[in-house]
Each structure stands twice: as C-alpha cells, then as structure tokens.
Chain A
Amino acid sequence: MADSEKTFRYQAGMAPPEPPPVEARRLLCPHCGAAVDLLLPGKSETVRCQKCLSILEPEHAALKLREAYNEQFPHRLWIPLGREGILDGIKYKCVGMVVREDEEHARWSEYLLFNPYHGYRYLVESYGNWTLVEPHPGLGLDAKGYPVLWGSSANIRLAGKKFRYYSHYRARIVNIIGEFPWRASIGETNEITEYINPPYQASCEQVIQYLDREGNPVDIAALMAAEHGNADAQHSDDEEKILSRIIRKRDLRQRTTEIHWSVGQYKYPEEIKAAFQLDELPPKEAFGMCEPNPLRTRFWLSLAITALLSLVSCASCVYAINNAEQATVLEKKFILNTAEFELKREGDTDYLEFSFEPGEIILPKETNVEFDLKSLLEQQWLSLNIFMIHSESGAGYIYDAELSRYFGVSDDGESWSEGSETTSLTTVKMPPGKYNLYAIGATNVGIYEFKQNLKLFGESASGMAQQLLGPRLRGATQQGMRGVVLPQNFAGKENSPKLELTLRVTRDVPILDWLFPVFLWLIGWNIFYLVRYRSKEKER
C-alpha cells in the first residue's frame, strides 16, 4: 500500500474519535528541581526526570524520589516523549521508553504508547525493525488463572493464530525514560519466550522468583554477582551456568510469580515514520523477527506456476501421444547363421561382419521412425548400421545401434552385469516415401566356432591349420579388402551358432524425452526459491 493511501485511510474513515483530554501536569523533580511533565497523571507509577534521570513516584500533587541519579540519558529517543501518532487507526501518545538487553548484550527499545480508549501498547524497535505489541493479560491462563501455555519447546495457538517457537532468553532492563504505569526499575530481569507467525509475534514474559529451602525469596541477582565477584558479570555468556550452579548449590526453587502475554504485529519503518511524523529512523540492520519474508510469496508463486506448467506439460504429453500414429510397420525375428558371416580384424579385435535385409517400410507423411532391437546375448556384443534407402531418390540414411551384455562376479563375491539385450533408437523426421531397410552388423557372437571351422574347412585347412588367421587375414583387412569367409557348404554348417535378432519398426512416435528437462528445470526452479526463502528465514 502506498504511503498516500495509508494517510488517506487514517484521515478519512478509520480515525478514532477524539480522546477525552488527559491534562499533563507539570511537577518538580525533588532531586534536581527541574520541571517534570507528568503526561498521564493518575496512571503513572514511575516517572523519570529527564534532566538528572532520577526515578520518581507521583504522590498526590508532588513527586517522590525513589532512586537518585545524576547523569545524561545515553540512548537516542527516535520517537520523542509526548509525540502523537496514528497506528492501525488508533491515535497513540508516546509516554516512555525502556531499553533492554539479552544475555548476549543485544539491545532493543520498547516505546510505551498510550491511548485513553485502548490502553497501553509497546512499539518495539530492534535493529531498525518495528513491532506494535498489545498486551493480552488473560492469554496463556486457564479458567482458574494458572499458566497453561508457556515454555520453550512447543508451538502454540494464541488469539486465533498459530505461532511457532522462536526463542527463549533472559531480558534485563538497561535504562528507562518517561513514565510508566508500574514500578519500573533498572536491572529488572524477566524470562521471555517468543513465538512467531510473521507478521505476528507472541511473547510470554515471566517474572521468576527464587526461593530457598524455607520458602523465603532470595535475591538471585545479588547471589549471581557475588558468585562472579562482579555485578556486571552476571550477564556474561556463562550466566546460565552460574545460575544453574547457584540453584544446585543452594537448593533453590523457582516460582513464576507473573506471566504477561502479548501479541505483536510487524510494522514497516515507513509506516512508523509517517505515523509519528519523524524525520529520521534507525537504519535497518537485520531482518526482523516477525518481518514478513518477501521470498515466501515468491516461493509459493513458483510452486503455483510449477503446478500450472506441470498440468500444461501433462496435457501436451497426452496431446502428443494421441496425435502420434505409433503404427508398427515391421516386426521380424531374424535367425542368422554365423557360419555365413565374414571374419574381420580391427586392431587386435577379431569380429564377424554380416549383412541382411529386414524388409521395406512406407512412410505416408514426414515422420520419425523408431527401431527397437532385441538380441539374446551372453558376454557378447552386437553393432548394427541400419540403412534406410529411399526407393525413389536413392538417398540413404544410416543409423547405428549397439547391444551388449556382460555379467560376472567380482573379486569380493558380488555379481555384476552391464549392458542390455534391448535397445531403441528414434530417428529425426524422415521424408515420406517407401524405404528399403538394409542392415550391416558386426558381432563377436560365434566367433570362436567360426575360427574352429576355419581351421577345419577354410582355405588354409590343407596342411596349413597351424598358421590359422596369420598375416593373410591381417593384411587383407588392413587394406580394406575382403575378410575371411567359410566355404558355402562345409559339413556341420547348420550346427554353427545362430545370432537371433528381433527388429520392430514403428513410425510416427512421440518423443517424450522433452518432458525430462521441463520437470528438471521446474524442480530446480522451486528448489532455488525454497533455498532463498529458507536462507532469508535464517536471517531472523
């Protein structure tokens, strides 16, 4: 929402009725004699003199000194005392400020706001982030007034909202200025448990009293200071350990004397600036505890878009499948006798070369073709060049396919296998027409038997078997000449190993591989936004 719209909303419809006048009263500080303006006479129990910082108590028409100080207020008041501003349509007056810090010395400011109809609110400023907090005294108590919702390990439901546990720490009041409706004092320590559901937060503030064996309250701060030998050391990093040690040593019991629940809502700095007409605000140094994560929306948007694109992809897939003819135009099983193959050598590898003619196919339109090959192989390989020869133009399109299957047992006794007895290849779109298929293959199926037969029945069999496949074969193949073939009708030819090959040709098939990169991209896209969202959450 633009600032101008906000201003319009505040001014036009939702501005509260004018509150009854609460007249400020000017009194004198009993310590330094300076004038002290009591903004809420009759409501405030603690007032601090802005000149000497003595803590005072209003009593009838005068101020009574509670704690004398003589120093300057060292913290900056971003919202001046007495300044009025409208937040969520309610006009508040800033009447005080509390500076607190946790065990790790992280500090924040709590501005006390007052509206005569709506009571007190806290405007918490922490590292440039603002939260408007409303006390809910009844929350977290059961019908008998006992605490039911507190602790640091659970998520809670409060004021109709779900909150998740955020942190638990001990907060100490470092300084105060202005006036307060309770007996505020510096050094007061409370246990705070915070829950968040951005832009909301819930806080449970507990005042814990420590009792000795007889049930008498003990001054834990004094004990901790004594334990450490230094009053300031009680807020060191070892505070928890010191406290545990004192409790264990003195057998102390803890008693929660007060529980204050409050629910807050994050406010953007621009809203605070406009509401209180401020010229300057503290710089935003961190991501707010209950600040809405802008990447959350982007993550959910990416999920929604992914769902939409997945639907579109599935619909496209169905369309592609339904529109593809997927007609099997050839399906044959070939049993080839390896005795009719030709022995060749490439490098140190002997193999058998063969060719056969699977048949012819017709493509009525420009479309792709899928070849599915299957062969029973055991520690064998098979390589095929499939020729599609256009009967009219004489154009030849050559595709290659390979099959191999090896298996065994490794040294550590585990069985292994690689390769497959089946393979498939899909061509690009081919021009329409009639095609003659021709296949040229190479394999090691039956090569041992081929060589044995060559010994027995080959050209060199008569007295030259010992020179089997000698320089004659190598010389011939290296020169690109014919390899070695067996005689056409030698005895036992029919017993030679057979190469079984099944070929199925399908025309017009959908190429669904396109879906893989789509889904890969979409998953990656979502992971990218999820990681960014989670990284931002960690900045809280």
Chain B
Amino acid sequence: MRELWRMYIYLPLTLFVTGFCLYGLIHQKGGQKPLQAEKLDIKSIRKNPTAFRTTHLPYIFRGGK
C-alpha cells in the first residue's frame, strides 16, 4: 500500500488516460469531422450537377465566403 502511494504521479495519470480512452470507446467519441454547408437541396444539385461543382463547391470549400 505504501508503494502504491509512492506511485502518486503515474498511477493517477494512468487511470486518467485509461478512463478517458475507455469513455471515448464506449461513447463512440471521435471520427472524422465534416466540412459543413447549409441549405443544400439534392433536387437542385441533380438538375445541374456541373453548376454545383463549378459554382457551389468552391464556395463551400471557401467556408461559405
């Protein structure tokens, strides 16, 4: 027990790292974050995909500016 207390830095750190990672595992944290765009309409895109690619896409990739 005395030796456990002497591991006062690394033991809590280990428990924290393990706990943090297992929380992420159980709660499905992580994954790739998306680039977001608003007010997209699939029907409009279908109608003129070329226009969407050449006009809207650069606008989205610029962050809507």
Contacts and interface: CB of A to CB of B under 8 A. Distances in A.
A22 interface: no
A515 B53 contact: no
Contact of A298 (B6, B34, B45): B6
Interface string A354-367: 01010000000001
A20 interface: no
B34 A399 contact: yes
A394 B54 CA distance: 20
B31 A396 contact: no
Contacts of B26: 316, 319-320, 323
Given A357-B46, A521-B14, A514 B53 contact: no
A508 B57 CA distance: 28
A301 B25 contact: no
A513 B15 CA distance: 18
A518 B31 contact: no
Contacts of A103: none
Interface stretch (A425-433, A451-459, A489-497): A425-433
B18 A395 contact: no
Contact of A511 (B4, B28, B33, B41): B28
Contacts of A512: 25
Contacts of B30: 426, 428, 511, 513-514
The DSSP consensus for interface residues of chain B is helix
Interface residues of A, number: 61
A428 B34 contact: yes
Contacts of A395: 36-38, 40
Interface in A275-331: 294, 297-298, 301-302, 305, 309, 312-313, 316-317, 319-320, 323-324
Given A320-B26, A522-B14, A397 B32 contact: no
Contacts of A518: 17-18, 21-22
A298 to B, nearest CB: 5
A389 interface: yes
A510 interface: yes
A297 B36 CA distance: 53
Contacts of A438: 42, 45
A319 B28 CA distance: 12
Nearest to A306: B14
A208 to B, nearest CB: 43
Nearest to A388: B34
B4 A394 contact: no
Contact of B34 (A320, A397, A508, A529): A397
B32 A510 contact: no
Nearest to B17: A521
Interface string A226-261: 000000000000000000000000000000000000
Contacts of A319: 26
B14 to A, nearest CB: 5
A222 interface: no
B3 to A, nearest CB: 4
A320 B25 contact: yes
A480 B58 contact: yes
Nearest to B42: A436
A313 B22 contact: yes
Interface string A376-399: 000000000101110100111111
Nearest to A370: B31
Contacts of A316: 22, 25-26
Contacts of B21: 313, 514-515, 517-518
Contacts of B39: 394
Contacts of A407: none
A313 B39 CA distance: 42
Interface string A476-502: 000011110100000000000000000
A234 to B, nearest CB: 46
A301 B57 contact: no
A294 B3 contact: yes
B62 to A, nearest CB: 11
Given A395-B36, A428-B34, A440 B57 contact: yes
A517 B30 CA distance: 13
Interface of B: 3-4, 6-7, 10-11, 14-15, 17-18, 21-22, 24-26, 28-42, 45-46, 49-50, 52-55, 57-58, 60
Which 5 A-B residue pairs are closest in the complex by CB-CB distance? A397-B34, A396-B37, A514-B25, A396-B40, A428-B31
26 contacts: A301-B4, A309-B15, A313-B18, A313-B21, A313-B22, A313-B25, A316-B22, A319-B26, A394-B39, A395-B37, A396-B60, A398-B36, A398-B37, A399-B35, A425-B32, A426-B30, A429-B28, A440-B53, A480-B54, A485-B50, A512-B25, A517-B21, A518-B18, A521-B17, A525-B14, A529-B10
